[in-house]
Amino acid sequence: MRSFVAVILALLACIGWAAETAPPPQSASVKGEVLEVKDVDAYTYLRLKTKDGEIWAAVSKAPVAKGAAVTIENANMMTNFESKTLKKTFDRIVFGSLAGAGAAAAPPPRVDMAQMHAGVSAPADTGNVTVPKAKGPDARTVAEIVEKRAALNNKPVLVRGKVVKYTAGVMGKNWVHLRDGSGSPADNTNDVLVTTLDETKIGDVVIARGTVRTDVDLGSGYFYAVLVDEAKLQK
């Protein structure tokens, strides 16, 4: 189990948009005084005063009073986590179970890595990119792949783009971020992830031919909404 978690965390850190620190062991716990309580549909968010300073925690929804002394068991740390319900980004937050409440551990929510803030782990080359669209019946721009991912799921695509980030040899694959000038960073439609066995380097303009996959779950709550899988690269 430890080796699996280590591989997943290494992958996420290398590819980009990953949690900045590894979660503590499953046996870890966090103790503190409740300074603030925020309830949403499935979770109760708690701002805690601990011996190491303040930290936010999330547990399955439970009645917790301000000023209470609580223990969060099975704590899993996440960094730069965005709660769309609260419209707040937490620098650090732990997800776990409230000791003594008989509640199951609150699992880390599924986080679409493409939706994480660009400043967390931006591609290595983010200059202006203008690359002409590939030719052929399966040709798509980066934005088309992202925006039409549901219709393109499990279908072949051909996309030409500039390599803006390249990570080699993780989980038996090379991981490539491509941009072609289409789409917008505001809604993350300007970048697509490609997995391949072929080698490349940052700054190369390549044509990738692969299969669109959606909702790719890497475990531990992390997934990609879309990527181009098992692609062949051609310059």
Any idea where the domains of the chain sit in the sequence?
A: 31-109, 142-234
Burial of 235 (0-12, 13-18, 19+ CB in 10 A): exposed
- To the question of domain 142-234 being in CATH 2.40.30.10, the answer is no
Whole-angstrom distance, CA of residue 205 vs CA of residue 66: 56
The pTM score is 0.55
Q: What is the pLDDT of residue 115?
A: 47
Say if strands 222-234 and 69-83 run parallel, antiparallel, or are unpaired. Answer: unpaired
Q: What is the pLDDT of residue 188?
A: 84
Q: What is the pLDDT of residue 12?
A: 52
User: 142: which residues sit within 8 A by CB, 6+ positions away?
Assistant: 159, 161, 178, 179, 180, 182, 183, 189, 190, 191, 192
Q: Which residue has the tokens 């393109």?
A: 152
Q: What is the pLDDT of residue 73?
A: 84
pLDDT in tens for each of the 235 residues of the chain? 555 445 555 555 544 443 333 333 333 688 999 999 998 877 889 999 999 899 999 888 888 999 999 998 877 778 778 787 788 888 888 888 888 654 444 555 555 554 443 333 445 555 678 999 999 999 999 999 999 999 999 999 999 999 998 888 777 788 899 999 999 888 889 999 999 999 999 999 999 999 999 988 765 455 688 999 999 999 9
Q: What is the pLDDT of residue 11?
A: 56
Sign of the CA dihedral running 48, 12, 74, 65 = positive
